[in-house]
Amino acid sequence: MLSQPSVPLPTTPASTPPDPTRTVARDWRRVYARRLAVTDAIVLIWIVFGTQLFWFDFDQETTSVGFDMTRVVVNYTVISITLIVAWLVTLRIFGTREYRVVGSGNAEYRLIADASIRLFGIIAIIAFLVKLDLARGYFLLAFPLGILVLLLSRWMWRQWLSVQRAHGRYASLVLLVGSADSAEHIAKELTRNTDAGYRVVGACVPTGKVGGTLGDTGIPVSGTVDTVLEAISVTGADTIIITSSDELTPVRVRELSWSLEPGRQHLIVAPSLTDVGGPRIHTRPVAGLPLIHVETPRYEGRKRFSKRAFDILGSGLILLVASPILLVVALLVKFTSPGPVLYRQERIGLNGEPFNMLKFRSMRVNADAELATLLAQQGTSDRPLFKVQNDPRLTRVGATLRKFSLDEFPQLINVFRGDMSLVGPRPQREGEVALYDSAAKRRLIVQPGMTGLWQVSGRSALSWEDAIRLDLYYVENWSLTGDVIILWRTIRAVVAPGKEAH
């Protein structure tokens, strides 16, 4: 058993009113799941009965089921009700409303699509076996519409949940257990990513003294690794995250898991891995040991072909559709400042190979010659992110082009030619690449992109450290679905650029 506390922990006075945030934290999983269930039901009733009304008008359409003399007439209203109930049950079985998948990541959306596709596959098989004559139009219309509106409703709920979690609500209350360094690292990551739904309320570290804080995070130290159970009671935590295992033997970890309240308190073990996405991680239990396999990222074969095909089709289509806008921008650049319309600059691309990147000119001619002086004046010449604040070199329309990223559109030609990709780490100058450390050099193992993960996560407001962290996450966990999501977020950032865009 875990030993008794060596340091007395403060207790909450009986007269202190209950913390409403703590109550919500305990109940939010069921509350939120019920709200999702109600919304799912409303969506499916609307879509399925709407499809029935659209396809059959107000006719009391029927079909038949069975064989020869034993066929039974069935009203489509009965079929619609059965379909709605079966769809809701399938969404429940597939865990689409589980707290582990809602709020962040793609698992929630993937499970909804997977559950719906499997349901309709089962319905098609059953209809074939029992000779149920379903109207194909009714069936094929309700299916995609139902998935799309379900995904839209979940996305809307996610925006609401994100706001709630940014204020510390509708999140798991976390107690970190492990070494001070590992606990501080996990605390910073969870604080940075509030959408994940984990709010750190305390930490138990080997040398921790009650009343202190965990590094510079401001998170209170609630005890030592020997006083975890008491710290749970004081902090009201419902989730324990073990950040390192050296301080806790396997026997003590097992006993700690046994002591937690089933269904309300949860145990999570955080391995010493960062910026590794789910597709690369595989858990394999061997002799009672939960071994974690981490695949090395590979960019070849099918993955390389699919990304290149996506780039060719995407860039070609955007060039075709946006050509009138490009013509207008070119005329504005031409007639508002002297110099060429397009600006060519050498950037470093895949595997360190240089190429000429195209942009609409947004600065006066020979602006590059002034860059070193401006960087030295603002004290950033030694950082591999050459950004000049309040840049005096911009032309009359240059600031607007930069704010809405219109100057970047000629890079679609680079994408079509194969110098760049639609999504990837932004290509940098040779001088910036020369300042890379060994970690930053991993940006060069994939094709540079017009937009990337750090561009849609803060644009110019991010530090170099945060920017490289996001780029490395993209490099380590690339997927075509991720590219589509980044492109969607890029469109939103271009339409509503915000104050951080320069």
Task: Supply φ then ψ for residue 322, to 5 degrees.
Answer: -90, 5
Q: Which residue has the tokens 């239990």?
A: 285
- What is the predicted pLDDT for the residue at 183? 86
Strands, DSSP E only, in 194-341? 198-204, 221-223, 239-242, 266-269, 281-286, 289-294
Interval 76-98: pLDDT, tens: 788 888 899 999 999 999 999 98
List helix spans (H) across 285-422.
Answer: 302-336, 371-378, 398-403, 411-417
Q: Where in the chain is the domain with CATH 3.40.50.720?
A: 171-272
The whole-angstrom separation of Cα 377 and Cα 195 is: 38
* CATH classification (class only), 171-272: alpha beta
Distance from C-alpha of 139 to C-alpha of 234, rounded to nearest angstrom: 55
CA 72 to CA 5: how far, in whole Å?
71
At 255-289, the pLDDT tens digits run 888 888 887 888 888 876 666 655 666 676 766 66
CB atoms within 10 A of CB 214: 23
CB atoms within 10 A of CB 153: 16
Residue 408's identity, in one-letter code, is E
Structure-block tokens of residue 333: 């650049």
What is residue 148's predicted lDDT score, i.e. its pLDDT? Answer: 95
Q: 3-state DSSP call for residue 120?
A: helix
pLDDT of res. 20:
41
Share of the chain above pLDDT 70, in %: 79
Q: pTM of the prediction?
A: 0.65
For 266, what's the count of Cα atoms within 13 Å in the CB-facing half-sphere?
17
Question: Are β-strands 449-451 and 198-204 bridged in parallel, bridged antiparallel, or unpaired?
Answer: unpaired
pLDDT score at 357: 93
437-493 pLDDT, tens digit per residue, is 888 888 888 899 998 888 787 655 667 777 888 888 888 788 888 888 889 888 887
Residues of the chain with pLDDT under 70: 1-26, 57-74, 208, 272-282, 284, 286-290, 293-298, 368, 370, 372, 375, 377-390, 458-462, 496-502
DSSP, residue by residue, 232-292:
HHHHT-SEEEE--STTS-HHHHHHHHHHSPTTT-EEEE--S--S--GGGEEEEEETTEEEE
- Parallel, antiparallel or unpaired: strands 172-177 and 198-204: parallel
